[in-house]
Structure 1
């Protein structure tokens, strides 16, 4: 499971957990509840930004090697703007 999410993050860059959950629903054909649960249990190379939560308890996810990259900051800024 984490391999699928890691490939998604490599391709699309850091994003909110809600976007990753939507991807799992479409790709695996699972329910939104099951997708959210799987995303919440991810470990390994996948990280979550601490202390900042977005609407509907979404979190910002990224791969360890993406931390601090230009794409990391750009996507975080976009996520913050969209959450207003």
Structure 2
């Protein structure tokens, strides 16, 4: 009585197709996939950034190239530069 069967899932899918239309579903799925790739790349960038902050490397290298975050490998249309905070480095 409390479990979902195949018929329930099929009915939900049919309602979704009727509400959104079969024309918009591929675009919606593509947009969702792109959003998930962006989320994954942002998460990876945050992890690598936290690893470099804990290492002994200098926090600011004046000759270092500006970093960019890309949504997916080869996707240059959505690449953007990373905004580095100014004046927040610890002075020893």
The TM tier, using the shorter chain, reads under 0.3
Structure having the higher strand fraction is 1
Greater relative CO, 1 or 2 (CA 8 Å, sep 6+): 1
TM-score by length of 2: 0.23
